[in-house]
Copies of this chain bind each other. A is one copy, B any other.
């Protein structure tokens, strides 16, 4: 995808069968039948990226596409004077790359160690054309991403700094809870997994403002800040009110 070296067939995943894959039911291959899954299996190739490594960057014409299997990556755009805005968060099962378009106009950077399950773009497009079920899954995923992008636009265009930080905390808390089939709850411990700079770039704020708003939420008893970029929810209804989208 980028010209940077990416480790191929990382330890532990080299032989992973698609049917055993942790993201099998949520990734772009979720609706694939056994024959097309077999075809994907034949041509897939795992690639690993270290935290901070660039997966793809603006202006490139990536020759591979794929699914994020492990880790977290950021999609961001950069204005010429250095201002950066994150425009997407890639989590396991998310699709990376864009079939039918060559050049990309944003940067994709690994935020943690990342493993991708990749395909050569041309191969994948051929399979896509022959398997409407896979194409349909990609359409559904893209529509979900569009909804998420629009929610984020409302946050960026209309919410105060406090509302933005509260919204982000809730989003991460809910996503983490959903992974174990639960709802967010008071007392929940939430690993943010993002640096202050990443949070600021995501929320359209500065790191100082983000830091102050975390302080304010803690002072108001809505959260307790912990070490290593974690926090604990102390007042879920209060946090929801602070996020600004409850009535």
Complex contact A149–B149 (CB within 8 A) = yes
Q: How far is the CA of A171 from the CA of B157 in the complex (A)?
A: 18
Q: Other CB < 8 Å A-B pairs besides A75-B150, A88-B150, 16 of them?
A: A79-B245, A80-B244, A80-B246, A85-B154, A85-B158, A87-B153, A87-B154, A100-B143, A106-B150, A129-B132, A138-B139, A139-B142, A146-B149, A149-B153, A156-B157, A157-B203
Q: Quick one: given A79-B158, A139-B139, A244-B79, are A105 and B147 in contact (CB under 8 Å)?
A: yes
The answer on a CB contact under 8 Å between B158 and A80 is no
- A residues lining the B interface (CB < 8 Å): 75, 77, 79-81, 83-85, 87-88, 98, 100-101, 105-106, 129, 132, 135-136, 138-140, 142-143, 145-147, 149-154, 156-159, 203-204, 244-247
A67 to B136, CA, bound (A): 19
**Which of A101, A136, A150, A151 has the most CB atoms of chain B within a 10 A radius of its CB?**
A150
- Chain B residue numbers with a CB within 8 Å of A136 are 129, 135
A105→B245 CA distance, assembly (Å)? 12
Per the bound structure, the CA–CA distance linking A88 and B146 in Å amounts to 10
Q: How many copies are assembled?
A: 2
Contact of A204 among B142, B145, B156 (CB under 8 A): B156
When chains A and B are docked, how far (Å) is the Cα of A102 from the Cα of B84?
35
Report A25 CB to chain B, min CB distance, Å.
17
Residues of B contacting A245 in the complex (Cβ-Cβ under 8 angstroms):
79-80
User: Which residues on the B side are within 8 Å of A153 (C-beta)?
Assistant: 77, 85, 87, 149, 152-153, 156
- Which of A77, A139, A204 has the most CB atoms of chain B within a 10 A radius of its CB? A139
Contact B204 A80 (CB under 8 A): no
CA gap between A96 and B79 in the complex, in Å: 31
Among B80, B135, B246, the residue within 8 A (CB) of A139 is B135
Contact status A142-B135, CB under 8 Å: no
